[in-house]
């Protein structure tokens, strides 16, 4: 390694750790709950999609996430807040903004889930809302088969 650059390694490592550990305790708790909820779908052959979406959320606030989905697959989106959130909701829309018909939505306290099979491949939008409670964090995960 170049001697001039060797001093950068500890600084870059520290910066990487700082970026990697920016998740709040609420985000970690919300992700744990979302993964537990999504785990129920693995019994039906669903696989957890890589990645997740998380961040702060307040009552009455909505977060909209664009996802690319494929016709012929089934998807479940599970969202969780923390126990500070009394009620969470998740809904899905096609690329025109039309709400998708969800046959069996799940909602219990600070967790919610929806499942559907898109008719066409392309962009879809998933909206996460905190309907009641205190400001907290949310985490959304996706399962597919």
Q: Is the pLDDT of residue 4 over 90?
A: no
Does residue 1 belong to any structural domain of this protein?
Answer: no
Does residue 8 belong to any structural domain of this protein?
Answer: no
- The pTM of the full predicted model, rounded to 2 decimals, is 0.81
| Mean pLDDT of all residues in 114-118 | 95
Domain that holds residue 88: 24-144
> pLDDT averaged over the chain?
86
CATH code of the domain in which 100 resides: 2.60.120.380
Q: Is the pLDDT of residue 8 over 90?
A: no
Tally of domains in the chain: 1
Q: What is the DSSP string of 68-124?
A: EE-TT--EEEEEE--TTEEEEEEEEE-TTSPBPP-SS-EEETTEEEEEE--SS-EEE
Residue 100: pLDDT band with limits 50, 70, 90: very high
């Amino acid at each position: 390694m170049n001697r001039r650059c060797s001093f950068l390694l500890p600084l870059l490592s520290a910066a990487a750790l700082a970026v990697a550990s920016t998740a709040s305790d609420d985000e970690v708790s919300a992700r744990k709950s979302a993964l537990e909820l999504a785990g129920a779908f693995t019994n039906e052959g669903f696989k957890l999609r890589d990645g997740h979406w998380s961040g702060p959320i307040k009552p009455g606030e909505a977060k909209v996430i664009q996802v690319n989905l494929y016709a012929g697959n089934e998807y479940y989106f599970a969202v969780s807040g923390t126990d500070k959130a009394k009620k969470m909701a998740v809904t899905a829309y096609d690329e025109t903004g039309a709400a998708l018909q969800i046959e069996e939505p799940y909602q219990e306290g600070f967790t919610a889930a929806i499942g559907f099979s898109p008719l066409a491949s392309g962009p879809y939008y998933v909206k996460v809302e905190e309907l009641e409670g205190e400001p907290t964090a949310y985490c959304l995960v996706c399962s597919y088969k």
